Amino acid sequence: MAGKRPCCVCRKWFSPQARSGKQQRCCGRPQCRRERHRRACAAWRKRHPDYDRELRLRQRVVRGPPVGEALNRDPLAELSWEAARDAVGLEVAVIVEETGKVLVSWARDAVRAQGAEITKKLAKVVASAARDAIAVGACPP
C-alpha cells in the first residue's frame, strides 16, 4: 500500500485507496476529484486542440450514402461540397471535386471494360465447349 501523499488540488495529506495505490493523486473529496478531472480534461484538450474541430468538420462534410439506391448513384453526392468549400476555400475544393469526378469516371469505364472482356472470354469458353460436345458425339467409342 502506498504511503500518505499530498492532494494535487487541496494539498492536504491523504492515504490513497488500496486499489488505486500509486495512481491516485487527489484526495477523495468530491470537489478535489471534480477539479482533478477538469484539469485532466483541459490538459487533454491542450494536447489534442483540433479534435472537436475535426469531428465537427467531418459531420458537416460527410452526408453519407443515399438510402435505397443501387450502384448507379453518384459517390460524390455523399459529400457536402458547399461545406468543403467553406472549410478549405474555393480553389482547393474545386480541384478535389474535379479529381473525384475523374476518378469516378475512370472507375466506371474500367468496370465496363472488364465486363466486356469477361463476356468475350465467356463466349470463347461456350464455343469451345460446344465443339467438344460435337467431337465426342461424332466418334463412337
Q: How far apart are CA 84 and CA 94, in angstroms?
A: 9
Instruction: Indicate which single residue of 7, 16, 24, 84 sits in contact with Zn ion (rule: CB under 5 A).
Output: 7
Q: Indicate which single residue of 10, 61, 88, 93 sits in contact with Zn ion (rule: CB under 5 A).
A: 10
Give the largest Cα separation in the chain, rounded.
105
Number of residues that bind Zn ion (CB under 5 A): 5
Interface with Zn ion (CB under 5 A), residue from 9, 16, 24, 84: 9
Q: What are phi and psi of 6, to 5 degrees?
A: -80, 145
* Closer residue to Zn ion (CB): 15 or 114: 15
The CB-side HSE value for 73 (13 A sphere, CA atoms) comes to 13
Closest separation in Å from C-beta 8 to Zn ion: 8
Residue closer to Zn ion (CB basis): 40 or 95: 40
Examine residue 84 and tell whether it contacts Zn ion (CB under 5 A). Answer: no
Contact 80, 60 (CB under 8 A): yes
Nearer to Zn ion, 27 or 84 (CB): 27
Q: Which three cell numbers stand for residue 117?
A: 472482356
Cβ atoms of 86 and 70 within 8 Å: the answer is no
27 binds Zn ion (CB under 5 A): yes
Q: Which stretch binds Zn ion (CB under 5 A): 3-11, 16-24, 54-62, 66-74?
A: 3-11
| Beta carbon nearer to Zn ion, 12 or 121 | 12
Angstrom distance (rounded) from CA 81 to CA 55? 17
Identify the residue whose cell numbers are 461540397: 81
Report the interface residues with Zn ion, using CB under 5 A: 7, 9-10, 27, 32
